[in-house]
Amino acid sequence: MTVFKYIEDKDMFQAFFHKMLCKRLVTEASASEEAERSMIAKLKHMCGFEYTSKLERLLTDVALSRDNSDIF
């Protein structure tokens, strides 16, 4: 998070992070869902709810999809 403070174009970082998060979730290459949630929480603390709402929604959708798949 120290480096994030010095990034000038935080919107560009968000777009890149969103794209890479999607890729990690689809390929199941993420270290853990908890690690992803922790990073999003740190971004939320620094930039606010609006900055992370799409990222949080993405994780929620993946969890719901996983739950629905388990049911069937």
| Residue 71 in domain | no
pTM for this entry: 0.83
| Residue 41 in domain | yes
- The total number of structural domains in the chain stands at 1
More confident residue, 66 or 59: 59
| Residue 38 in domain | yes
* Domain that residue 60 falls in: 33-65
pLDDT band, residue 68 (cuts 50/70/90):
confident
| Residue 54 in domain | yes
Length of the chain: 72
Long-range contacts from 40-43, C-beta under 8 angstroms, 24+ separation: 42/1, 43/4, 43/14, 43/17
> 19 pLDDT exceeds 90?
yes
> 42 pLDDT exceeds 90?
yes
pLDDT band, residue 2 (cuts 50/70/90):
confident
pLDDT at residue 69 in the model: 80
Q: Give the whole-angstrom CA distance, residue 17 versus residue 69.
A: 26
| Residue 43 in domain | yes
